[in-house]
Amino acid sequence: MIMHHAISSQDGNLFIESTALSTIAGQLGTPCYVYSKAAISNNFLAYQSALVDKEHLICYAVKANSNIAVLQTLAELGAGFDIVSIGELERVLRAGGDPAKVVFSGVAKTASEMQRALELGIHCFNVESEAELELLNSTASSCGATAAVSLRVNPDVDAQTHPYISTGLKENKFGIDINLAAQVYQRAAQMAHINVVGVDCHIGSQLVDIAPFVSALERLLALVDELAGLGIALKHIDIGGGLGVRYDDEEPPTPQSYMSAILPLLMDRSETLVLEPGRSITANAGVMLTQVQYLKSNGEKNFAIVDAAMNDMIRPALYQAWMDIQSISTGNSESAVYDVVGPVCETGDFLAKDRPLSICAGDYLCLMSAGAYGFVMSSNYNSRPRAPEVMVDGDQIHLVRQRETIEDLLSGESLLPAVVR
Ligand SMILES: *Cc1c(COP(=O)(O)O)cnc(C)c1O
């Protein structure tokens, strides 16, 4: 059995920190997301301690898990934040995060988003196109502000990950072609309301190999040196996020070994290192709990029909992601190989396929490594209220998001006015 950071097994019972998952499922019902405060903290501290000898800013990628209690945990450790919308920026503020440590990524920032971020004085805009640069310059001008800018370049490196989460190839929509970047920097340097401060890239997600990170950084450094020759001195180099985690039998580098591979390239340089890790901070710090409603067999296949669906956790349906699933068994069950499927009316609605499990109706199941790209990607499809989120701290259970109610589901909708004939 694979042991995940936050989860341990004692006498057939699964625990998160010192709290039994069955207790949480019993108290709060299922489906339910559960996070470990200690695991989130430890994952962040692993980056921080690997970087004691280098000036750095670790900007947690909010989109991986944006619950404000998660952001609060990280803000208290001194984290910065990588955001992709104003909604995420408002979450950071609510959680006590420092806007001066926020970098703003994303290909489609609007003028009103730019305005709000300028007003709060964020660390930097990661600009993804020339058109965006122009809008940012004119927006800053009308606010009487100057925007700190990093250009997100596309280093054309193959991250060798799933095509949907690979972002650093020429064919992807992200960033500015690294071969054209020097020209764009020269334009930016002449804009009255733009202050060029850095360069960034983000080549993909769930990378299990260090080599693509090193290639990307080498290309970035060549650009930084070229720019210095043109009189454009950068203050920081942001190499994005993307470090993978273990879902199955992957062996991704630890933050420590990742940093020791790239730090030699940066040691004699004055630029601050900025990182944007998301998944590697929260994925293995969380699980999703669900309950078996029915067992069903069609002769060829056994199905465990559970109360969580693709609207609660879309990764298996969207990316064919493999996620470990373990039973929190009541003991009186028989072993079989199951497809674990949900209530949503789509054939793509599954959490796991062909898994040996000892279960019976009523048992709880624990979907592992669900702390990143889990709740944040959930929806109300099939009019299903979204699950609650819980943060465990030792033996303390904190409900950090309530289960949605039917009232929540309908709020904001209205009927057409009555027709008067
Ligand atoms: C998604 C994203 C991240 C975080 O990626 P992880 O794989 O979760 O570490 C960082 N930076 C940018 C620009 C992103 O889009």
125 and 271 share a domain? yes
Q: Which amino acid is at 32?
A: C
Q: Which amino acid is at 177?
A: D
259 and 314 share a domain? no
- Spell out where 25-164 has E strands: 32-36, 56-61, 80-83, 102-104, 124-127, 147-154
Question: How much distance in Å is there from the Cα of 172 to the middle of ligand 1?
Answer: 14
Q: What is the pTM of this model?
A: 0.96
CATH of the domain at 396: 2.40.37.10
264 and 302 share a domain? no
110 and 248 share a domain? yes
Q: What is the CB neighbour count within 10 angstroms for residue 398?
A: 12
Q: Is 363 in the pocket of ligand 1 (CB under 6 A)?
A: no
Domain count, the chain: 2
d(CA 349, CA 381): 11
Q: Quick one: which of 67, 92, 73 has its CA closest to 82?
A: 92
Q: Indicate if 32 belongs to the active site.
A: no
Task: Please choose from 85, 126, 205, 243 the residue to mutate so as to test ligand 1's pocket, defined by most ligand atoms within 8 A of CB.
Answer: 205
**Per-residue H/E/C for 301-323:** CEEEEECCCCCCCCHHHHHCCCC
299 and 227 share a domain? no
268 and 317 share a domain? no
* Nearest atom, ligand 1, residue 63 CA: 1
| Domain closes at, from 246, 277, 308 | 277
236 pairs with which residues across the strands? Answer: 198, 272
Do 124 and 132 touch, CB atoms closer than 8 A?
Answer: no
57 within some domain: no
269 and 310 share a domain? no
139 within some domain: yes
pLDDT in tens, the chain (421 residues): 344 568 999 887 899 999 999 999 999 999 999 999 999 999 999 999 999 999 999 999 999 999 999 999 999 999 999 999 999 999 999 999 999 999 999 999 999 999 999 999 999 999 999 999 999 999 999 999 999 999 999 998 877 766 666 666 666 778 999 999 999 999 999 999 999 999 999 999 999 999 999 999 999 999 999 999 999 999 999 999 999 999 999 999 999 999 999 999 998 999 999 999 999 999 999 999 999 999 999 989 999 999 999 999 999 999 899 999 999 976 667 789 999 999 998 888 999 999 999 999 999 999 999 999 999 999 999 999 999 999 999 999 999 999 999 999 999 999 999 988 7
Task: Please give the residue range of the domain that contains residue 197.
Answer: 105-277
Catalytic residue among 143, 201, 345, 360: 345
| Domain closes at, from 277, 295, 317 | 277
Q: Is 279 in the pocket of ligand 1 (CB under 6 A)?
A: yes
246 within some domain: yes
| Domain closes at, from 210, 243, 277 | 277
318 token code pair: 């969207």
